[in-house]
Amino acid sequence: MNDEHMPRGAGADIDLDRRRRCGFPEVIYGEGKQIESILEIVRRLLEADQYVLATRIDAAKGDVLKGEFPQGVYHPDARTFRISPPPSAEAGLVAVISAGTSDYPVAAEAAETALWTGSNVTVVQDVGVAGPHRLIERLPDFVDADAVVVAAGMEGALPSVVGGYVSVPVFAVPTSVGYGTAFGGVTPLLGMLNSCASNVAVVNIDAGFKAGYLAGLVSLCSRRRS
């Protein structure tokens, strides 16, 4: 068989123009990828002077990435690996809120993604609606943010409550936390989609990355206007 008729391999066709078009570089989804492929993509992004974010990276892959790229940050709870400069003092602010400690890994993925976008990030943990006073006490930490991410499982009520206190977009992330009728995140997903707070938008179940990315875009646009 001639080379021109050989089936194409699994090599990545990296979109190095995405930052110019869309604001941020291409992101590596690590689950299902061989570590050799991930390493090659990271090298090519760095050679092109791009920031690096890899999601759904398990501990074994994280150890290899840290060994090859010691300047990177591996977050075991978020399962992310990123290489990006620290946010400047002038950068926008993204607040990431989790309803319970069980929701924290999803919130951490959102926070690490927002940091990769260049945003400053504040994390507010364990302020679910079962203890509403906790959220009020932390209001000064997020009321002036450019965008807010809220990760919640169970019945998914927290984003609606947060939405009633802020004048910016709230990106709700339903998590797969809860007992049987939570249906692996479907119940909070439907609850969030039916939010009566007009500034709440909803991403997929456990999709902390997507919420952090969107919040980072809002923060970026806010910086451009200032």
Q: 226 falls in which pLDDT band (50, 70, 90)? A: low
Residue 11: the pLDDT is: 66
Domain termination residue (choose one: 28, 57, 84): 84
Domain termination residue (choose one: 19, 50, 84): 84
In this structure, the answer to whether residues 127 and 212 fall within a common structural domain is yes
Residue 8: the pLDDT is: 37
Q: 7 falls in which pLDDT band (50, 70, 90)? A: very low
pLDDT digits (tens, 9 = 90+) for 79-113: 999 999 888 777 899 999 999 999 999 999 999 99
* Helical spans, DSSP H, in the chain: 18-22, 35-47, 59-68, 104-116, 132-137, 139-142, 158-163, 186-193, 208-225
In this structure, the answer to whether residues 149 and 197 fall within a common structural domain is yes
In this structure, the answer to whether residues 78 and 138 fall within a common structural domain is no
In this structure, the answer to whether residues 74 and 95 fall within a common structural domain is no
pLDDT higher than 50, residue 216 = yes
Residues 67-72: what's their mean pLDDT?
96
Residue 33: the pLDDT is: 93
In this structure, the answer to whether residues 123 and 72 fall within a common structural domain is no
In this structure, the answer to whether residues 66 and 92 fall within a common structural domain is no
**Domain boundaries, position 188:** 87-226
- Bridge-based pairing state of the strands 147-152 and 93-98: parallel
Residue partners of 58: CB distance under 8 A and separation at least 6: 30, 79
In this structure, the answer to whether residues 72 and 96 fall within a common structural domain is no
| Domain count across the chain | 2
Domain termination residue (choose one: 84, 117, 137): 84
In this structure, the answer to whether residues 34 and 97 fall within a common structural domain is no
pLDDT digits (tens, 9 = 90+) for 157-200: 999 999 999 999 999 999 999 899 999 999 999 999 999 999 99
In this structure, the answer to whether residues 145 and 201 fall within a common structural domain is yes
